[in-house]
């Protein structure tokens, strides 16, 4: 175990700690599927309704606009259910999200969602991690205005990664993991996950994962 990834219990706080997590804007901006759903579902609903009722397509357009809000709220609710407020306890080395509690060593996957805002010259980063079958957590590493985590929160998230068993998934057809970057876009190993937590890359840095 390297010095970078070795647990450092002497510097972590005690008791259950609430983690900062991705805000609503960061959640949608760095998750391409949300944007796709928010655009396609209302349009399809409006055009389908207009055709079935044999009314003007402009009525369908107005229906699509009206459907944006409920679709947005539904996606927001799903996101919050998938990623409930995470808590960590280093005394017991456990992660809690919702009503589920697992040892930190059971955290086996990490994914970095990234969105480059070219006009603002900023890079938004959200780290997601969890155990097989849950629970999972979502933490915003760099926001839309380039803000990063407070130092104390960074230390907590870094210690979670150090105590985890995060690894890039492998497939029988790629046992060496040579093509994991393409097979699992966004997936990180433990050392890489720790690196992006301690040093969130800016838009001027090489992209640590493929941009979806």
State which H helix or E strand residue 108 sits in: strand 107-117
- Domain chopping of the chain, boundaries: 9-22+84-198, 32-81
Cis peptide before 135 (omega within 30 of 0): yes
pLDDT level of residue 9 (50, 70, 90 thresholds): low
Q: With 70 as the cut, is the pLDDT of residue 34 above it?
A: no
Q: What is the pLDDT of residue 31?
A: 58
Whose CA is closest to 107, among 131, 134, 89, 83? Answer: 131
CA distance 114 to 108: 20
CA distance 143 to 199: 14
Q: With 70 as the cut, is the pLDDT of residue 10 above it?
A: no
How confident is the model over 77-127, as pLDDT tens digits?
777 777 778 899 999 999 998 888 999 999 999 999 888 888 888 888 889
Does the model's pTM come out above 0.75? no
């Amino acid at each position: 175990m390297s010095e970078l990834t070795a647990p450092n219990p002497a510097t972590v706080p005690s008791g259950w700690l609430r983690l900062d997590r991705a805000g609503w804007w960061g959640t949608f901006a760095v998750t391409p599927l949300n944007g796709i759903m928010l655009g396609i579902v209302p349009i399809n609903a409006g055009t389908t309704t207009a055709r079935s009722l044999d009314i003007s397509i402009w009525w369908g357009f107005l229906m699509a606009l009206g459907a944006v809000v409920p679709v947005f709220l539904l996606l927001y609710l799903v996101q919050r259910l998938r990623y409930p407020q995470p808590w960590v306890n280093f005394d017991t080395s456990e992660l809690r999200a919702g009503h589920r509690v697992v040892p930190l060593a059971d955290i086996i996957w990490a994914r970095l969602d990234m969105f480059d805002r070219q006009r603002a010259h900023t890079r938004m980063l959200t780290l997601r991690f969890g155990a097989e079958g849950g629970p999972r957590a979502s933490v915003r590493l760099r926001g839309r205005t380039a803000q990063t985590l407070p130092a104390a929160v960074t230390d907590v998230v870094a210690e979670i990664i150090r105590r985890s068993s995060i690894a890039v998934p492998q497939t029988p057809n790629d046992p060496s993991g040579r093509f994991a970057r393409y097979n699992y876009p966004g997936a990180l190993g433990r050392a890489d996950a720790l690196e992006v937590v301690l040093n969130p890359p800016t838009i001027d840095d090489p992209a640590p994962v493929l941009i979806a």
